[in-house]
Amino acid sequence: MFRIVKTEIWKLKRYHMIWSGVLLMLLSVLLTLFSTTALDGTVWTFPFFAEQVIKNNVTMIFPVCIALLAGYIIAREEQDDTLKNILTVPVSYCGLLWGKLFVCALLSLFLGAVSALFTVIANILMGFPGVSAASILQTFIQIILSCLFLYIAVMPVIAMTARIANGHMVGTIVAFVYGYGGMFAAGNATLADIYPVTASLGLISYRSYDPTVHWNVLICCFSMLAAFLLSAVFVFTTKGGAPVQAAKKQKKSSQKRVGNEEDMIMKKKMMIGFSVVGVIAIGFLCFCIWFLSGADSAYYYCQIDNSKIEEIDSGGGVIDLHGGMAYSYTLPAYDENGNEKDITFGASRELKEGALIRLTVMPVRGVLEWSEVQYEELPAAVQSYYTVPANE
């Protein structure tokens, strides 16, 4: 096993795909930076910024990243037509697969360290308060361990698709859905402990300082153990010691011409697969840029009425979906033409009674930011709905 692991680590040097993992870790931090541009009253500190990076890693980025890389590493032996030579040495496919999975665990630790480093660098550039040696150390520990636990959570998907020739593309799609499901599981404390993706958060004590967040570490551990055991079942029950199509390919490899044709077909499939993934990734990135840029936003104006304030209840969720907002207002608001609409927005504190507020509202996202304005700054169509404050 040691030789297998050592060999696989050496192979990583020639896999340029590893750089895509580094870029995906950077993407997670960039998405979090985009969200900081929304001036919606959220108080950004370094610990809160790190929490949001972890949330993006868990629900969107890392499951896809590690499933893609692990599947690629496993599939290379078949694509390079080296599997039949490896199996002639007394090395079972099961042992080879375990060696590759162990290397992928080391790779997840490396990507976690990269993500933590990008997070610290981004915070230095943005200048968020709350930076200390203890908070930086905690960020590195939490992000690195969360990536390792996420890898264990996604391992059943990797092991299952390893049984299928070129199944890593399918595994990447399944991992995305599986990871994004953590967003919904996080809304319920019990389900968050059971669901492996969110259980990884419990093992790093994610947001444990919040009195409404209660992790059952024992259940989280059992969830991780169940994911690992399921992966072991998939590995040990791999039929014929190798993917079915790989075994068939060994029989045909006696004819060099046929083997070359199959290799060309496989390369075409790989190019098509990566092109599809690339188009989806670019489309997703463009959507995120639009979603976070505030395009198509409009101004609405309202007046604060503290009789309509409500304290936000976390509902037992383990992921903060309210951006640190403690209060919520639902008030009648008017656009520049005087059209009325009830709008809900959050605030970190109780606002001044009677204050005139301008809301920046975007389709889908809702309120991006708010700011206090004077009566003279209101559009003429809106001024008719309000009276001039006494102090003006």
Q: Please report the pLDDT score of residue 197 as a whole number.
A: 92
Q: Please report the pLDDT score of residue 332 as a whole number.
A: 92
Contact 195, 223 (CB under 8 A): yes
Structure tokens at 202: 């419990």
Placement of tokens 């199509």 in the chain: 245
Distance CA 300, CA 177 (A): 36
Say if residue 97's pLDDT is above 90. no
How does pLDDT run across 215-235, given as a tens digit for each residue? 888 999 999 999 999 999 888
pLDDT > 70 fraction of the chain, expressed in percent and rounded: 71
User: Whole-model pTM?
Assistant: 0.65
DSSP for 173-218, written as a single string: HHHHHHHHHHHHHTTSHHHHHHSHHHHHHHTTTTTTTSTT----HH
Lowest mean pLDDT among 8-17, 191-200, 260-269, 290-299: 260-269
Torsion angle defined by CA atoms of residues 370, 373, 376 and 379, in that order, rounded to the nearest 10 degrees: 0
How does pLDDT run across 151-180, given as a tens digit for each residue? 999 999 998 888 776 677 788 888 889 988
Placement of tokens 């919040």 in the chain: 210
How far is the first Cα of the chain from the last one, in angstroms, to the nearest whole number?
79
Contact 125, 263 (CB under 8 A): no
HSE (side-chain half, CA atoms, 13 Å) at 312: 20
Beta strands in the chain (DSSP E): 298-303, 309-311, 327-334, 340-347, 356-362, 366-372
Q: Please report the pLDDT score of residue 240 as a whole number.
A: 47
Q: What is the 3-state secondary structure (H, E, C) of 352-364?
A: CCCCEEEEEEECC
Q: Please report the pLDDT score of residue 50 as a whole number.
A: 92
How does pLDDT run across 33-83, given as a tens digit for each residue? 887 766 555 668 888 899 999 999 998 899 999 998 888 888 776 655 555
- Mean residue pLDDT of the chain comes to 79
How does pLDDT run across 267-295, given as a tens digit for each residue? 666 566 666 666 766 776 666 666 555 56
Higher pLDDT residue, 312 or 361? 361
Distance CA 247, CA 202 (A): 42
Structure tokens at 348: 């970190």
The residues pairing with 345 across neighbouring beta strands, listed in sequence order, are 329
* Mean local confidence (pLDDT), 298-318: 78
pLDDT > 90 fraction of the chain, expressed in percent and rounded: 19
Distance CA 239, CA 162 (A): 11
Residue 286, Cβ density class (10 Å: 0-12 exposed, 13-18 middle, ≥19 buried):
exposed
Question: What band does 242 get if pLDDT is binned at 50, 70 and 90?
Answer: very low
Q: Please report the pLDDT score of residue 113 as a whole number.
A: 95
Cα–Cα distances in Å, from 107 out to 7, 23, 25, 167, 284?
14, 14, 13, 20, 25
Q: Please report the pLDDT score of residue 248 as a whole number.
A: 47
Q: Please report the pLDDT score of residue 60 as a whole number.
A: 86
How does pLDDT run across 327-355, given as a tens digit for each residue? 888 899 999 888 988 888 877 778 888 88
Q: Please report the pLDDT score of residue 352 as a whole number.
A: 86
Q: How far is CA 92 from the centre of its chain?
A: 35
Closest CA to 77 of 198, 245, 192: 245
